[in-house]
Structures are given as structure tokens and as C-alpha cells.
A and B are shown apart, each in its own frame.
Chain A
Amino acid sequence: MMNLQRFHAPTARQALAKAKMAFGDKTVILSNRTTPNGVEVMAASSDEVDTLAQDNANEAQDLDAVNTATKQSFSSALSSAVKESVEADAQQLSMSTLSFQDFVRDRMLKRRKGLMTIPADMEDSGSASDRASVGTDSKRKAKVGIPVRESAAPTAAHTANAHTPATHTAPAQIHVGYSDLSAQASAGTTTPKGISDELQSMKALIEERFSTLTWLGETRKSPVRNNLMTQLIGAGYSPHLSRAVLDKLPQDQDAQAAKKWVAQVLERNLKTDGNTLSMMQQGGVFALMGATGVGKTTTCAKLAGWCAREFGPASVGLITLDTYRVGAHEQLRAYGKMMGVVAHLAYDQAALQDLLGLLVNKKMVLIDTTGLAPRDPRTRDLLNTLNLPKLQRVLVLNACSQGEMLDEVVQAFRTTGTQQAILTKTDEASKLGPALDAAIRHQLMLRGVTTGQRVPEDWEQAQPHKLVKQSMHAPKTAYTTTDLDLGFFFSHGSTGTAPSSELGALHA
């Protein structure tokens, strides 16, 4: 029997505390409701919920065994019943009416006895006392009582047909009885399994909620942690990443040190080429891809401009695959013309390969692509077109986009190996948090940042320190998160949406 207890207290917190005192850390809250005197909480120990679940699992196994045994037993009983009835019929062909009644009674008893032996085949799954008490013990009925109860059906049917010596009806009825039996047996398994699943799901939900509340409670107890959490959420970082970072915050740090520690963790986890060669210095073939309107063409022009300045116009090759947007080629060509670089147009992979052959001696070849929405089916075609050796795909992300949008774009344009990215429009973004959050969670390698519209001046190499610092200075607006909003952010759904694998490589 499960030990459930009700706890009454003026507030939910106190009621939970009482429950926790009774059951300890393994408290599972099953329900709570408001009463005239405060709050009533129904709780149990998680061990008991587990035991109940185990019982149900065992019951399910027992029933599986019963089903198997029942099938075998009924099969043998069926053949023996048919054989027996045929032999008996042959022997009793010339009997009197009185002896016929005896015959029927005798045969009925034999049949009943024969069917009564079926549960005897199941001795592995039940004791003799269990079998004896099938009629009274309701729990046992759920396990093995069903075949016994069903055995009455063929008997009754046989009785009803007792006046007719036809014996072929019995097997048919037994067969029907067997089908019903299976149905009943499976119905018997559904109910406890359903309850078990529901309880397990409820338990998981409660545990997660309880854990979040506990965590939130602890966070609120620590003003430093609370303040940092508010800042991170306010800066646009996801609750998932914020919590993952603050979980590792060392104790006994003052506000300043803690803030510095958090910034350093974010910086360490933000991959950039800040300490290595820039795209221009490194050189190679780069294809810029991303959603519509993120600034791919302008970024291409900026990169080409810097490369032309450093290594001369002849060192740069420009190709556009954007045959969709009106004026896309003209725009790139206009930029190219100003710096003495020719912008070529490729319609397909063959043309692209041909042009790459023409530009093989260039220091840097930049490929501008058509902007595509993350769910656009043409995204896959574009990725296939760009699937060429030595071609590096660089994802262009708009820093003004919402976190969800950035996640979608990264998923849609995901490629094998290290995913390179460029962050655009950082000057327009009111919060850099979502973009940096996406870069950290998806482990993108930031190759650069665009900070304005001027070509090519407004381009910078990605510097983690600068970006994180900038992100932590989000302006205060009506959308700024306060301490009171933290509970909302950490409600169910905010904490469990991001796959844990995404944060597997977080370095504190």
C-alpha cells in the first residue's frame, strides 16, 4: 500500500517543507490545492512510486506469461476436447435418455475439469493458494482469474446446447472464449500500465519543477547570482545557457568578481579566429550563405575590399550564385567595379566549378549566394551546389535576429566540420546576447563582425572580450528583465527546450 500523506500549511512553501520533513529528499508531490486554511499538499516518497511502478511492470510481465501459457494450454485443451468428445460420442450412440442426461452431466464436469487444469499450467507464475482464491481475491483475478472466469462461458454455452448432441459447437465456442480472453487480458494490462506511465510522467514533471524552484530559490538567496542571472537574461542569453554558466559559479565571490568570472566563461566558450589568421590573411574559397537580408552581399564586398587593399585587386575573385534577387549581381558587380574586381555569375555547380578553375590563382575567392529562409527547401540544393572540395561555407547571421530564428538558421545551414560564421549588423542590434548565445551553443567559429554599412571600413575581426562586454551592456527598456520576471523565464519549457548535448562542451 502506498503511503500518501496530506500536509496543511498557510503557504505552499511551508507545506512543501513539511512534506520534505516527512519523506526527506525523495519527496514526490502528487497534488496541491488551496483550502480555506491555506494550502493542502499530497505527497509520497519517490521510492514508493518506484515500487508501484516496478509492481506494475512485474504484473505486465506476469500477464505476458499468462497470455503465452493460455495460448498453449487452450490449444492443447482444444485438441483434447475435440478428440474426447468424438470418442465419447462414438461410444454413447445408443444410450437411453436418462443415461444421456448422465452423459451430459459427466461430460460437462469433464469439460470443466479440463478447463480448470489450464491455470495449473501456470504454476510458475502463481502459487496454489492463489489459484484457490481466484474467486475472491480481486487482485489475483486481474492476473489469472480471467481464464477461470472465461472457462464458464464455454461451459454455459455447452449447457445451452446440451439437448443437441452436436459436438462441433464446443471448439468454436472455446475459440471465441480464447479470443475474448486475450482481449480481456490485454485490457487488464492497459489500466495499471497507463497509471504507471502517468505517475512516472507526473513524477518527472514535479521533480523538474521542484528542482527548478529549488534552484531559483537558492539563486534568489544569493544576491550576486540573482543579479547575474537577471543581467544574462536581460542581455538576451537563453535561460538554458545562463543557468548552465551560473551553476558553475564559484561560491563566495563578490559581485564584481562573479561578473568577471561569468564574462570570462562566455569569452572562453565563444570560438573566434581572433588569435589566428583573418579570412583575408588565410585566403581560400569562401561561400557566404544565410537567410534573406542578413547582409551577405555587403559582407562579400567588405571582405573583397580588405583583401584588395592588402594584396591588390587581382588577388580577389568574386562570384555570385544569386540569380533570384533582382539586381543582386549588379550590386556585387558595382562593388567589384569600384575596387577593380570582376564579379562573375554562376547559374549552377558546373558553372561555379568552371569559374573556380578560372580564379584558381586568386588569394581569396568570395561566393555570394541567394538568401534563403531556413525552411525553404532550396536550402538543401544550395548546400549541395556548394559541396565542392576546398570550398569553405560561412554562415552569415544577423545579430538583430531573435534567438529562435538564429537557432533555426544554424540548423538549416548546418554542415559537417567546424561551422564558420560572420555576425552582421551588430551596430543595429539592441542585444547581442541571442547571437552570442547561438554561437556558443552551436559552437560556431566567428570569423568576423560587421559594425556598420560602410564598405569596407565597418568590418572587424571577432574579439570575444569585446563582444561579450558589449553584450552585457544591453540598454534598459520596457523589455528589460527584472528579478520578478525570473520565475517566468524558468517556468517549464524555458529550461528544458535546449538539448543538453548542446552545452556538453561548455568550459567553465
Chain B
Amino acid sequence: MAQLSARGERDRSAALAIEVARRAAATPWWRRVAVRRYLFGYTLLAPAVLFVLVLVGLPFLFSLYLAMSDASVGDPVARFVGLENFRAALQSSAFWSSLRNTVVFTVGAAICKALLGTTLAFLLMQPFRGKKVVRALIVMPFTIPIAVSALGWKWMFDSQFSVINWALSRLHLIGEFGTAGWPVWLGQPGLALGSVMFVNVWRSFPFGAIVLMAGLTSVPPEVIDAAKVDGANFLQRFRKVIVPMIAPILFVGGLFDTVFTLSDLSIVYLLTNGGPDGATEILPTLAYQVGIKAGALGRGAAISLFLFPLLLPAMILLLRNLRRREW
């Protein structure tokens, strides 16, 4: 009896399989499952892609054109000059110091943000009383518009009225006003660059912590429990289970923040405007001064796009690597 029904099963599933195959062969291509999936997918993608293509892609091509022309603000239709603008940039000492500052700024700030953001996220995941208040407070550097919080910092770093100096001086950790021991946060070259980096870190590390927390909470509890059952202690759980799962989000957040920092001029612009003597000049501020304030659009575009040929392949490599790890 069992054999009979087993054979019956086999026959029935064979018949079903044949039927399915026949139907598949008979459906027109636009009804095929794979194609339907592609159509569906591309339709979903369309709004985002269109938006970015039209409002970023086309202007980007325009800025490429600018970078290779001698355009000025009053005359955006100009002669093609090839790589002349890039060559001119390389000859200017202001450009080299800006490039160096940009790299130091971005890398240094990124490291600080990663460290601070991770430890903060970890701390905030602990259960403790008063967490809501703490979280609300921690988020504030990120919610106050940078255009104005930078001004607040300008006042805090003021050469005369700095409240930081006042406090440190009263604690006898630094010298008196008017002496060499009174740090001029925005006036001494090394300190100035450090100060603008600090403001960037101050403003962004809550962001990093939030992204991390979001990632941490999306780790399914079952996976954690499974690890616990397997006897992993906390650190092992963190390193071997959690980190790999949140790595994509972590990575993207970090990459985004780095790229954003590379093109952000507001902090330097408001605090030091690139001074003293170019100690805090970064590529975006230099590009703004040359391209917009002085009106030499072509050269400004070349300066701001200078890192593009370097960053693009680096980003592609990194992102491909990330993809490969997941799929």
C-alpha cells in the first residue's frame, strides 16, 4: 500500500514538474518571474536614480567641464584648457598645504570619531537609570545647526574671552592671559588645526553612536542567544558575532562621514577661514575662496575635484570588498 502511494506521489510530482515546465515555456518573456523581478526592481530604483542623475549627475558633468575650462563667475561659457587648472593648482603652495591639511583633518577626525562613537554606543546600550535624559543630551551637538554651533565654539575658543582658557588658567593648568602659556586655540598653527578637528569630532560622534546603536539593535536576538548557548562570553560575542553583523552599517556610516567631512567647509570657514597663514586651509575652503569669492570658477572647480580621481577608485574598491563579504 505504501509503495503504491509512494509511486503515486512520484508520478504526481513528475506530472506537476512537467506541467510547470510546459507553462514556463509557454509564458511570454514579459511574464517570466525573473523578468518581472527585474522590472519591479528597476521601477523601485527609478525615482532615486532619476533624482540623483538629474540633480547631481548632470551638474557633476558641468563641474568637470568647468574644471577644464577658464570659466569665471561672470562668464561660465569659456575656452577649454585641458588640465591647465590642475597644473596651476599644483604650482601653488597654498594648494599643497591645503591638501596636507585635508588629509590630516579627515583621517585624524575619522579615527577619533570611530573610537568615541563606538565606546559611546556601547555605553549607551547598557541598561541604567536616567538613560533617556543622557541620550537626549548626547544627541544635541548633532541637532544644533552647524552654522551656529561653530559660532558658539568660536566664542569658546576666543583669544581673549575663551571660557576654556579661563577655567584651565584658574586651575593653574595653563599660564595667565597675555603670557606665552595662554593657548590661542585658533591662532597657533598646530592648535588651530586640532581645534577645528575637535569641533568636527564633537559634532559628528553622536551621529556615529546612533548609527552603531541602530546597527546593534538590528542584530536578531536569536543569534545572540545562540552564541550565548554556545558558551561565548561577552567579548567573544561582540567580536565574533556582533561586529560581523553590523560591519556593513558601521562601514557605510564611516565612509559617509569621511566623504562628508572631505567636502564640508563650514567649520573651518567660520572658525579660522583657513588661517593663520593657511594652517587650517583645506581644499573646500581654498576652492571656495578661489572659485566663488575671487570668481575663478574653473580653477575653483579643479581644486575641489582634485581628490576625486583618487577617492573614486578607493571607494569602488572598498565598496566592492564590502559587497563580496556579504554575498
Say whether A and B bind each other.
no
